[in-house]
Structure formats: C-alpha cells, structure tokens
Amino acid sequence: AAEKDPTLNDEQFLVVGHRGVSGLAPEHTLASYDLVKGQKGDYIEVDLQMTKDGELIAMHDTKVDRTTNGTGEVRDMTLDEIKQLDAGSWFNEKFPEYAKEEYEGLKVPTLEEVFQRYGKDARYYIETKSPDVYPGMEEKLLNLLEEYNLTGPNEESSKVIIQSFSQESLLKVHDLNENIPLVQLLWYAPDGNGGYVEESGLTSSPEKVTEEELQAIDEYAVGIGMNYKYNNKMVINEEYVQEARDLDMLVHPYTVNEENDMETLIDWGVTGMFTNFAGKLDSTYKSI
C-alpha cells in the first residue's frame, strides 16, 4: 500500500512518536527513534537540550539524572562528558517487561546524529526546551535544519514542525524562517480554586478558550499541542477542539497512551496526537 504522506492539511491525522516509541525503548535514543517508522509514526518527536560546549542533544530533562547513569545539568557538561553516559540501562530496570540487552550502554544522540541517521526519510517534531537557559538554541537548530535540507519553501514542504511552550522561542524561529510550521504547546493545571493556571498562551480555562486567544496563536503557529488530562481528569473537551479546528488549526494533545482516550480524542476531532505507542495509535485511528 502507498505510504501515508503526512502534510499539514488539517484533514491528515498525524501520529507523533513521543520521544520515539518510548513505551517500548529508552526515550530519545536512536533505538527508540528507529521504531517510529515501522510503527507507522509520521513524526519523530525530539526534545532539545544544549551542552556546555553548545551542542544540541536529544533529551527531555535539563538534568541527565533520570534517563542516564549520570548526574548533573546538561548545560554544565560537555558533549564528551554526555557521551560517556549510558542512556539505556535505566529503561531495562524500570520496564523489565520491555527490557532488551541491546539497550544497555546506548548513547545520548546529538540532533545532528539524528539527522545523519534518518535524513529526509523521516519527519521531525522538535521542541525547544528551556530556551531561556540556552541562548542561541534557535539559531543553532535552524542552521542544522538548513545544513540537512530539512526546511522547504513553505510549511507543507517542511520535514519539520517546531514546538515549544515558549512563545518567545517560537517567535524567534518565525523571525528567522517564516516557512517553518510551528506548534504552540500549552499546559493546563487546575489551580485549586476551580480555575486554571496559565503557563503559556491561553488565559481562560480550556473549555472556554476564546477565539481571540486562538487567533493570537494562529498569527504565528499552525496549531496547538496541549495536555488533555490533569490528575487523570480531562481538561479539554470537544468544544475546545472544534474552536481550534474552526480556525483550521492543528490540534495535537499529549501524551496519549490509552486506547479509550485515543478514541475519545479522535471522536472530538483532534488532528493527531503525541503517543509513546505509535503503533497503537495508528491501529486505533484506522479501526474507527
């Protein structure tokens, strides 16, 4: 069968391999990214941190502690030091049911190594993490994208979506290259008083997101990505999804790992999801 050609048409449902297929392999390792295509993922999700010597690496946390056998802040370590670390064994210990010997001793990849391995055969959904801690991160990212010819003449032709919780970081990217599609990440957390703490972008509670708020994001971004649950309770609803869809925006909730949640969100009209189990999302989408 012809392979699905993911575009940024909001009718095209996108399966985003969150940190690779991180349910089955150690997050942000090449082993995890290697699984995305076979599991029918449309995008490899890459979180970015930057080393002391200015190398962009694939890692979720600002510290290496959780996902390697080392300790300390990425910004205080050189790439050489990062490369000494074992980024796989923790997974075997934490998830014995998915453990594999080959995960032992896996290295933390640089973004450049990721591009060298998959080139134009993959699409990348890259998050600028903690951009305030890493000045110059956006310029380095765009330089690498250009070097590997991953940005096209328009949003549809781009092999990359750039995402961030930081509006400032996205605007910086937009200033550098207005053809790269951007997704504004949002985080909704009940504040204990019945309202919602706003950390980026939207100011009202998610169910009441206003057209003005969405329009402001629509000025620079092709879509939004949001936590869909908080403390096991839904924080978005169908009306929320449809308000964004009415503006032709992409709507990509994170991180959706359960089939029943996938089904509910598909029914509400989301245009893709971040998931640790790309294969499960692909088959759930196709079964509906």
Catalytic residues: 18, 60
Using CB under 6 A, which of 254, 262, 265, 270 touches ligand G3P?
254
Please name which of 129, 192, 186, 205 lies closest in space to residue 162, comparing C-alpha atoms.
129
Contacts with Ca ion, 242-261, as mask; x by CB under 5 A: --------------------
List the beta bridge partners of residue 163: 127, 183
Binding mask 185-214 for ligand G3P (x = CB under 6 A): x-----------------------------
- Cβ neighbours around 99 below 10 Å, total: 15
Question: H-type helices in 183-258, by residue range?
Answer: 211-218, 238-246
Residue whose beta carbon is closest to ligand G3P: 254
Pair type for strands 250-254 and 229-230:
unpaired
* Residue in the structure block whose two tokens are 């392999």: 25
Task: Tell me: does residue 47 bind Ca ion (CB under 5 A).
Answer: yes
Q: How many residues bind Ca ion (CB under 5 A)?
A: 2
What torsion, rounded to 10 degrees, do the Cα atoms 170, 233, 277, 165 define? 10
- Rounded CA gap, 32 and 18, in Å? 10
The nearest distance, CB 187 to Ca ion, in angstroms, is 11
Spatial contact of 168 and 131, defined as CB atoms under 8 Å apart: yes
Our finding on whether 10 is near ligand G3P (CB under 6 A) is no
CB of 153 to ligand G3P, least distance (A): 26
Q: Is 127 in the site for Ca ion (CB under 5 A)?
A: yes
Q: Would strands 196-198 and 188-190 be described as parallel, antiparallel, or unpaired? A: antiparallel
Segment lying near Ca ion (by CB under 5 A), choices 110-118, 127-135, 186-194, 224-232 = 127-135
Of 20 and 279, CB closest to ligand G3P: 20
Total Cβ atoms within 10 A of residue 201: 20
Using CB under 6 A, pick the residue from 67, 163, 184, 275 that binds ligand G3P.
Answer: 163
Residue with tokens 């910086």: 172
Residues that bind ligand G3P (CB under 6 A): 18, 47, 60, 127, 163, 185, 225, 254-255, 274
Residues that bind Ca ion (CB under 5 A): 47, 127
